[in-house]
Amino acid sequence: MSELMHPARPATGLRGGLLVTVSAIALVACVLPAIASGADDDRPTVWIDLGGQLERVDGTGRPFAPDFATTNPTPEVFKPISPIDAQHSPRYSYGGEGKLSIMPEGTDWVLSAGIRYGRSNGGKFIQKQLPYAQVKNIARLANYPSLNYSRTQPAAFAQFNETRTKQSESHTILDFKAGKDLGIGLFGSHATSQVAVGVRFAQFSSRATSFIRARPDLDFYNGFAAFSTPDFYFYKAYAHFHAYTQAGASTRSFHGLGPSLSWEGSAPLAGNEDSVQLALDWGADFALLFGRQKANVTHQTTTNTFHQKYYPRYQVSVDHGGHSNRRSIVVPNLEAFAGLSVRFPNSRVSFGYRGDYFFGAMDTGIDAPHSQNVSFHGPFAKISIGF
C-alpha cells in the first residue's frame, strides 16, 4: 500500500491582498460621485460585465514517466491507454469573469476592475489483465510408463496493469486599470480606441497524483527438477517477470504582480448606435509580472524481479526521486482577443476568442526545475449592462 501526501494549497501573497484592498477603496470612492454627476446624462457612467469562458489549458504540469512505462514496443497491458497517457491534464477548463467600469461625466477616462477565474479537474482509473497463459508440466519414469503424465494448466501468474490518476488546476487573474478613450477613429469615423495602464495579478496552481501497479512482462522457461536422473525427470514450466509499483505526487504554483499596458478598440459593422448595432471588437494586453514560482514533486518506484528455478526468488529495488523549488521570477504576459458584440443603448452582448500566454511561469520538472509557458485560449461570452 502506498499513501500519497498532498501539501496544502499555496496562499495568495501579501502584495496581492494589498492590491485588492487599495484598488477596491479607490473604485468605491469613484463610483458614488460618478453616479451622482451622471444622473442627468444619457450615457451610462457605470458598466457591469458578467461572462464565462471555455479555455484550452497548457503548461500546468507534466506526467510521471517511470522507465517501465516507456518501453518499446509497448506492452499489451498498456494499450490502448498507457499509464503516462492516463496522467495527462484535462484539456479544457471552465470559469467565469466579471468587470466593473466607471466613466465619469465630462471626461474620457475609464476606471475598471476585473477578475477572471477558471478551473479544471480530471482523473482516470484503468484496470486491465491479460488471460492466464497455458503451461505444460511433464513427468517421465522410464521403468514405470503407467506413471508418466503430461499436464497443461493455467499459469500461476498473469500480466496486468492498474493505474489511478487525479489532476486539478485553477487560475485567477485580476486587473485594475485606468484608461483613456482616444477617439481617433482609426478604423472609421465611429470607431473607438482606448489605451489603459494598470496592475495585473495572476495566480496559478496545479496538483497531480498517480499510483501504478503493473506486471507488463511475463516469460516462461522449462527446467529440470533437482532430483532428475537418467531414469526419471520432472519437466516444469518456470516463471520470470517484473512487478512494478509507482507512486507520485506534485503541487505547483505561481503568483505574480506587475504593471500592464492594454489597448482595446471597436468598430461598428451594421446598425445604429441609438437602437441596435453590430460591432467588431479587439484588444491586446501586455504585462510584466514579478512573482514566486513553487514546486514540490515526489515519486517512488519499487521493482520486484521474480525468478524461479528450484524455489521462488525475489529481488527488490526502490528508486526515489523528485525535487522542491521556490524561487522569484519575472514572467512576461501577453493577452489578445477578437470578437463580435451586439450593442444596445444601455447593454451589449459579446462573443469572441481570447488567448492569454504567460512565458516561463510554471515549474513542470520532475527531478529538476524546468520552467514552462502557461497558456489559456478559447471562446468566451459576456453580457454588459450600463447604469
Tell me the C-alpha to C-alpha distance, in Å, between residue 220 and each of 75, 160, 223, 232, 316: 16, 16, 10, 22, 20
Q: Per the structure block, which three cell numbers stand in for 82?
A: 498507457
**How many other CB atoms are there within 10 angstroms of residue 199's CB atom?**
19
CA 366 from centre of chain: 15
The full DSSP string for 45-105 is SEEEEEEEEEEEEESS------GGGS-SSPPGGG-SS-TTGGGPPPSEEEEEEEEEEE--T
Query: pLDDT tens digits, residue range 106-121?
Result: 788 899 999 999 999 9
Pairing of strands 347-363, 160-181: unpaired
* pLDDT value of position 107: 82
**How many other CB atoms are there within 10 angstroms of residue 43's CB atom?**
10
Question: 331, 358 in Cβ contact below 8 A?
Answer: yes
Could you give phi then psi for residue 100, rounded to 5 degrees?
-120, 125
Query: pLDDT tens digits, residue range 228-279?
Result: 566 666 677 788 899 999 999 999 999 999 999 999 999 999 888 778 999 9
Indicate the SS3 state at residue 20.
helix
Length of the chain: 387
Q: Cα(127)–Cα(163) distance, rounded to whole angstroms?
A: 7
Query: pLDDT tens digits, residue range 110-165?
Result: 999 999 999 999 999 999 999 998 887 777 666 666 667 677 878 888 999 999 99
Indicate the helix (H) or strand (E) that contains 319: strand 312-344
Q: Cα(334)–Cα(261) distance, rounded to whole angstroms?
A: 10
Residue with cell 495572476: 202
Question: Low-confidence residues of the chain, pLDDT below 70?
Answer: 1-42, 140-147, 149, 183-189, 223-234, 309-311
Q: Cα(93)–Cα(140) distance, rounded to whole angstroms?
A: 67
pTM, entire model? 0.81
Sort 195 into a burial class: Cβ within 10 Å, 0-12 / 13-18 / 19+: middle
* pLDDT value of position 188: 56
Question: 345, 354 in Cβ contact below 8 A?
Answer: no
* pLDDT value of position 371: 94
What is the residue extent of each domain of the chain? 14-386
